[in-house]
Amino acid sequence: MQRVAFLLKVRADKLDEYKAHHQHVWPEMLAALRAAGWHNYSLFVRDDGLLFGYVETPEGLAAAQAQMAATDVNARWQEFMAPYVESADGKRADEMFLQLEEVFHLD
């Protein structure tokens, strides 16, 4: 199981809406994430919009992302969430993960 930590930037002026949408993620999106091997997926955000994400996946992040990219629901979710994420080059949020290097794990 690969543990992955990443950063994104949510627009500070849209932060409350972003958080509200994540309280009610579409059931078909949740099912697609699970089917694509996304486990223990969590998002944390600061007041300025800096978002820290964590996910565990058996085949690695690239494979998990590729499986999601092949789904219609992911395309719809990414389009829906695009106004909330800062993107200088028009990339979707799921294409902009700034992956962090793991330097310590207790277990």
- The answer to whether residue 73 is domain-embedded is yes
Q: Count H helices and E strands in the chain, helices first.
A: 4, 4
| Rg, the chain, Cα only | 14
User: Is 44 among the domain residues?
Assistant: yes
Give a yes or no: residue 67 inside a domain. yes
Say if residues 33 and 67 touch (Cβ distance below 8 Å): no
* Domain contains 24: yes
- Number of domains within the chain: 1
Hey, which residues are catalytic here? 22
Residue 104 domain-assigned (yes or no): no
Q: What is the CATH number of the domain that holds 26?
A: 3.30.70.100
pLDDT in tens, 89-105: 878 888 888 899 999 99
For residue 67, the model assigns a pLDDT of 96
pLDDT, one tens digit per residue, over 18-76 is 999 999 999 999 999 999 999 999 999 999 999 999 999 999 889 999 999 999 999 99
Domain enclosing residue 46, as ranges: 2-91
What is the rounded distance in angstroms from the CA atom of residue 44 to the CA atom of residue 9?
A: 11
CA-CA distance, 45 to 8, in Å (whole number)? 9
